[in-house]
Structure 1
Amino acid sequence: MPENKSPERLVFFTDAVVAIAITLLILPLADAVPEAVAEHQSLTELFSHNLAKIYSFLLSFAVISRLWVVHHHVFEQVKSYNRRLMSLNFGWLLTIVLLPFPTEITGLYGNEEFTSALYIGTILAASLFQVGMVLVIRRDHRLRDDDSELATQPVLATSSNAVVLAIAFVVAVFVPQIGYYMMLLLLLPPLAERIRGARAQVA
């Protein structure tokens, strides 16, 4: 495959796959409605019996949204792609397409052993693929804009989400009951970015 192709088609395809995956998250909740009607449940019972599914849906929606925002920000600075970048992008898409599966498991099995580890591990894999894409773009100036921040941004800033998720994954393996709460640590990297940006403006 010739090197240095326009990333437009790759981005469009990626956005379409993400849109489908994020839409699939709602299907378990949609299926719960006719089941509740068949069992003559009230609306209150419908919600109370499906709180875990609602929580897992909202969490996964937020996670995929965050992953897409980061992906979008990266590819805004990309002017070309090669085979390695495309392969990493497809690996990233694999984790996004897979995420509705552990989301459904989370809604059904809650804090059972390995449930949170599977869920967080899938998100960790997505984050690692993102780090891989950034590193490929950093190392090949032909793939990025000349003024791209990817060339100068510290590697630690690029991999902060992956570091946080790796910590959350280890906790989820050994203490499944609090594994999902560790996902709140994902709020720290964007908060640190805002603080760093505010300090830079002041300086």
Structure 2
Amino acid sequence: MTRAVRGAGGAAPFGAERDPARVVAFTDAVIAIAVTLLVLEIRPPDTGHLLHGLVTLWPSYLAYGITFLLIGQVWANHHVMFDHIRRADRMVLFLNTVLLMDIAFLPFAAAVLADAFRHGQGERVAVVLHGLTFEMAALLFNLIWRYVARDRRLLVSTIDPAGVRAIGRRFRLALTWIASGTALGALFPPLGVVVIAAFIPYYWLPIRGESARRRPAGR
């Protein structure tokens, strides 16, 4: 019978540890499918006046653009996170699987958002649904990072404590920002969409400490 080897922090690994490259590849594939499905939700207008019909689809364009860019942020920050994860155990695999389940739901949430604004009813529920779906993604990012960083057993040795804290702060900020936009959307749907959309340019900024430090040769 084999025994689990304890990590540097004394915690026993939760199942076998694996190279995270396949986790990242699988995540990339699911995200690629999700962003492709987004555009499939935009249907050609069924009207005699094509230009007018295309203009009336503006809620679909808006939902597509915001959701695509937010999923793009999920993709970029997932790579930032896994650049610093050297091994993935079963808990990391499970949390990442739940994250992918949430991402796969996003095309539906975007379609609901577009339909609500196009028909002028249910906007509050639609914005809350859309926001909560991204809030769940933000929560899972925080859970994964907190788990791998708690004793640094699963992290690469080239990230220092300041880098760990910087990435953690960025992920925690996402929770607060998206939750605020979602709450505002429950009261004033357009304002909620604006707040969530404002999250896009900020979160594309690089995270302090996201690049792993190179060790001098010979060490």
TM-score bin (small chain): 0.7 to 0.9
Match of 1:129 among 116, 140, 144: 140
Q: Which residue identity is paired with 2:48?
A: H
Larger Rg: 2
- Alignment of 1:5 onto 2:18: yes
Residue aligned with 2:41, SS: helix
Residue 178 in structure 1 maps to residue 191 in structure 2: yes
Among 145, 149, 155, the alignment partner of 2:156 is: 145
C-alpha distance in 2 between matches for 1:70 and 1:161: 11
2:128 maps to which residue?
117
Matches of residues 1-203 of structure 1 in structure 2 within 5 Å? 2-29=15-42, 32-33=43-44, 35-36=45-46, 39-42=47-50, 44-110=51-117, 112-149=123-160, 150-153=163-166, 155-186=168-199, 187-190=201-204, 193=207
Give the deviation of 1:190 after TM superposition. 4.8
Amino acid at match of 2:27: T
Q: Give me the whole-angstrom Cα distance separating, in 1, the residues matched to 2:78 and 2:132.
A: 19
User: How many pairs does the alignment contain?
Assistant: 190
Q: CA deviation at 1:4?
A: 1.7
For 1:126, the aligned partner's letter is A
Q: Is the 8 A contact 1:4 1:142 kept in 2?
A: no
TM-score (norm 1): 0.84
Identity across matched positions, percent: 23
C-alpha distance 179-188 of structure 1, shift in aligned 2 (>3 A): same
C-alpha RMSD of the superposition? 2.3
Unaligned segments of structure 2, at least 5 residues: 1-13, 211-219
Residue 39 of structure 2 contacts residue 64 of structure 2 at CA under 8 Å; is this kept in 1? Answer: yes
Q: Given residue 123 of structure 2, which amino acid in structure 1 is its aligned partner? A: E
Which is richer in helix?
A: 1
Per-residue deviation at 1:61? 0.5
Task: In structure 1, list runs of 5 or more residues that go unmatched.
Answer: 198-203
Letter in 1 for 2:106: L
Change (3 A) 1:95 1:183: same
Higher mean displacement: 116-125 or 172-181: 172-181
Q: Is the 8 A contact 1:137 1:144 kept in 2?
A: yes
**Of 133-142 and 64-73, the range deviating more from structure 2:** 133-142
TM-score by length of 2: 0.78
Deviation sequence 1:19-72 (CA, Å, 0-9, x none): 00110000022xx22x53xx3332x22321211101111111001001110011
| Cα offset, 1:84, TM superposition | 1.4
Tell me how far apart the structure 1 counterparts of residues 131 and 36 of structure 2 sit (CA, whole Å). 20
